[in-house]
A = this chain, B = another copy of it.
Amino acid sequence: MMRVPERPRRSGKTMLTLTQRRGDRWGALLAGMLALVACVSVARAEDGYGLWMRYVQADASKVEAYRAALGDVVAPDRTPTQRAARDELQRGLAGLLGVQPRFHTAPAGTATLVLGTPDSSPWLAFLQPELEDIGEEGYLLRQTQLGGQTVVVVAARRDIGVLYGVFHLLRLLQTGAQLSDLDVRETPRMKLRVLNHWDNLDGYVERGYAGGSLWDWHTLPEWLDPRYTDYARANASLGINGAVLNNVNANAVSLSSAYLRKAAALADVFRPYGVRVYLSARFSAPMELGGLATADPLDPGVQRWWRGKADEIHALIPDFGGFLVKANSEGQPGPQDYGRSHADGANLLADALAPHGGVVMWRAFVYAHDVPEDRAKQAYNEFVGLDGAFRDNVMVQVKNGPIDFQPREPFHPLFGAMPRTPLMMEFQITKEYLGFATHLVYLGPLYEEVLRADTHVRGPGSTVARVVDGSLDAHALSGVAGVANIGDDRTWSGSHFDPANWYAFGRLAWNPDQSARDIATDWVTMTFSRAPDVVAPVVAMMMGSREAAVDYMTPLGLHHLMARGHHHGPGPWVAGGPRADWTSVYYHRADRHGIGFDRTTRGSDGVSQYAPAVARTFNDVGQVPENLLLWFHHVPWQHRMRSGQTLWTELVHRYGRGVGYVEAMQSTWGGLRGKVDEPRHRHVAAFLRIQRDEAQWWRDASVAYFQSINGLPLPAGEAPPPHPLAYYQALQFPYAPGDGR
């Protein structure tokens, strides 16, 4: 394999002499090429922009086989999606094979790779029966015989399936797969696989740690940044098929005609890649945009306004996906302002969208500060009685856990509790509570843990994944949403490791049974290197990184202990302010004697929102998983853990273990110097330094605080925090990124 050295070691002069000696046109060509190398060493600096689609040339052991198998491509080019598939293959194969593939629209004698649908590629008509039940987005990928030749086929019922198959094939090549046994059949398990962008119209991204919004509303619709296309490519490579462009804390202006034209321009860019545009809808938009006196969902004028708005949108964006709504939560307007239910509100929008095939994604993230009930119980209480009251084109979008994207939460009790309503999973990809972009925390294991959690609502095996994919209750609609970690930073996600979370989200949204480890392995291989002595250690450090964050931030079921507002760093002492349920003391309830939120039947009874088998386990201090102990139980500091240590000793140990893990990651990464390109190595190393210091800060501040509460000595061997508690409490970060505005 030819590699471009940072600085070629031969001097230019020697090169010239050699070529001049040959004195023929090959010499001249060679000289030109050598000249090129010099430029390239500058231009090819790895900066993360290419994500997992770098298409670096395949290993020497594979490249000949790939060239032979894939050098001649038969592909239709009549529709935008067909051309997108061809373009991607051209780009990918040129990189991976090191030569430009030849494209044909009909089989040539040398055809080796054939893609299309039975309609677009008549030569694939023989696959029609097999494609019958593969779904609108599914595809086949297979090495087979066609006209007496061995060919690779990428076949689907629709163009978008072909594009997805092309990305799958390129992934296999990037990860060095053998083509000889190629036989893949894929159908997505979820219908809607959607990113939620919390992007404000002024370019600010709430909880964004990757620069400003990718959408430059000011220059839309006239200027279509090529980055929009690359965004759509990245999503299509994972099967992500929707994007909510604007923040759930919504602004009615996003529904104004001027902004709809801008959104339509983005939709035009995304359409060939199968990504539909959705918008967050502000419930009071009929008043703010339409000048109505009310937004009451039962008001005929309001209903007319939304129908008109939906018609206007669909005229501009024929495949408009629908609305995402945050209503009657954290200050957003909603149907309860008029004494109506969430179902009334959702159905209002659903009726407006129905003629056009759009859906409403109505968020269950609802809680009120004037309700004395345990916040963890409120969404369930609000929604479970509405099961069956929603229109067919409404999904209720439920966060993975009952509080708010904490490093660890139990699965949300609504999963399994609303069998007549399709529930959409809402994961957070951006790391609001997990160290922002500077902490290396791979979320694959978090997503996997939630999806594999067993609700037991229909007996063992009633996993959250089966609730969400609709199979448990035979729903036609199903979906997963991820709060995007994407901005205009060159790395897309604010660091070189955060794209792994976008990637894992997309892969798991397609098929929630995949393994987070396998996904990480693919991602590292495509992103950094195919070398096993890079892939193995990097995957290993990623796999433990989320548990490490739990350890150094909120071990043993603790939650919501971050600083107020921006959520940067520890704040277990946070108390007072406008709402008790926005403080830390509300959640940890530590005192001289013990710590933890009693959600057992003797406490808030949050456990009883789960199916009996689950509730029993959570309710029993002897059975509850220790990693959720303090979520469900208030226990004495001297509580004996399974390790034999007291809770206090174990707690302090866990904090330190988290810091130690980050130090181990630093060591592992340090050992990869020279095996990972220098620009990205340096960047990651700097961020790991930040992460280590902040992990230590979390540990020290938390230990100092809890010690101030329980008055206990530090367990033997544990270092005292280097500063008094007041020092940590006084730290201020008025410009931490991503704060809600």
A binding-site residues for B, Cβ under 8 Å:
2, 4, 7-8, 10-13, 15-16, 22, 26, 29-45, 55-57, 67, 71-72, 90-91, 94-95, 97-102, 201-204, 211-212, 217-219, 222-224, 226, 253, 436, 438, 488-490, 679, 683, 686-687, 689-690, 693, 734-737
Closest-CB distance, A732 to chain B (whole angstroms): 9
> Are A30 and B30 CB-contacts (below 8 A) given A11-B100, A44-B39, A218-B735?
yes
Contact of A36 among B4, B13, B690 (CB under 8 A): B4
Contact of A11 among B11, B31, B102 (CB under 8 A): B102
Q: How far is the CA of A102 from the CA of B42 in the complex (A)?
A: 17
> Are A38 and B218 CB-contacts (below 8 A) given A29-B30, A30-B26, A223-B683?
no
This chain's copy number in the assembly: 2
Whether the Cβ atoms of B223 and A686 lie closer than 8 Å is: yes
Which chain B residue has the least Cβ–Cβ distance from A33? Answer: B33
Q: How far is the CA of A421 from the CA of B687 in the complex (A)?
A: 47
**A737 contacts which chain B residues (CB < 8 A)?**
202-203, 218
Closest-CB distance, A133 to chain B (whole angstroms): 38
Closest-CB distance, A11 to chain B (whole angstroms): 5
Which chain B residue has the least Cβ–Cβ distance from A45? Answer: B226
Q: How far is the CA of A103 from the CA of B17 in the complex (A)?
A: 18
Whether the Cβ atoms of B36 and A36 lie closer than 8 Å is: yes
**A253 contacts which chain B residues (CB < 8 A)?**
734-735
Whether the Cβ atoms of B100 and A38 lie closer than 8 Å is: yes
> Are A15 and B99 CB-contacts (below 8 A) given A30-B30, A94-B39, A219-B438?
yes
Q: How far is the CA of A145 from the CA of B566 in the complex (A)?
A: 64
Q: Which of A40, A101, A687, A734 has the most CB of B within 10 A?
A: A40
Whether the Cβ atoms of A224 and B686 lie closer than 8 Å is: yes
Q: Which of A91, A100, A737 has the most CB of B within 10 A?
A: A100
Closest-CB distance, A24 to chain B (whole angstroms): 11
Which chain B residue has the least Cβ–Cβ distance from A95? Answer: B39
Q: How far is the CA of A7 from the CA of B94 in the complex (A)?
A: 10
Which chain B residue has the least Cβ–Cβ distance from A72? Answer: B13
Q: How far is the CA of A448 from the CA of B164 in the complex (A)?
A: 56
Whether the Cβ atoms of A12 and B223 lie closer than 8 Å is: no
Whether the Cβ atoms of A98 and B38 lie closer than 8 Å is: yes
Contact of A43 among B38, B43, B224, B736 (CB under 8 A): B43
Whether the Cβ atoms of A33 and B2 lie closer than 8 Å is: yes
Contact of A2 among B7, B12, B35 (CB under 8 A): B35
**A43 contacts which chain B residues (CB < 8 A)?**
40, 43-44
Whether the Cβ atoms of B44 and A12 lie closer than 8 Å is: no
Closest-CB distance, A59 to chain B (whole angstroms): 13
**A11 contacts which chain B residues (CB < 8 A)?**
99-100, 102
> Are A38 and B95 CB-contacts (below 8 A) given A7-B100, A13-B71?
yes
Closest-CB distance, A50 to chain B (whole angstroms): 9
Q: How far is the CA of A30 from the CA of B18 in the complex (A)?
A: 13
**A30 contacts which chain B residues (CB < 8 A)?**
26, 29-30, 33
Q: How far is the CA of A43 from the CA of B56 in the complex (A)?
A: 11
Contact of A33 among B37, B94, B217, B489 (CB under 8 A): B37
Closest-CB distance, A61 to chain B (whole angstroms): 15
Q: How far is the CA of A26 from the CA of B27 in the complex (A)?
A: 10
**A26 contacts which chain B residues (CB < 8 A)?**
22, 26, 30
Closest 5 CB pairs of A and B: A12-B99, A35-B98, A2-B32, A33-B33, A38-B94
Question: What are 18 pairs between A and B in contact, CB < 8 Å?
Answer: A2-B35, A2-B36, A11-B99, A12-B71, A12-B94, A22-B26, A33-B34, A36-B40, A38-B98, A39-B40, A42-B95, A203-B735, A203-B737, A211-B488, A218-B438, A219-B690, A223-B438, A253-B734
Q: How far is the CA of A97 from the CA of B690 in the complex (A)?
A: 41
Whether the Cβ atoms of A99 and B219 lie closer than 8 Å is: no
Closest-CB distance, A434 to chain B (whole angstroms): 15
**A57 contacts which chain B residues (CB < 8 A)?**
35, 39
Whether the Cβ atoms of B100 and A219 lie closer than 8 Å is: no
**A42 contacts which chain B residues (CB < 8 A)?**
55, 91, 94-95
**A38 contacts which chain B residues (CB < 8 A)?**
94-95, 98-100
Closest-CB distance, A125 to chain B (whole angstroms): 28
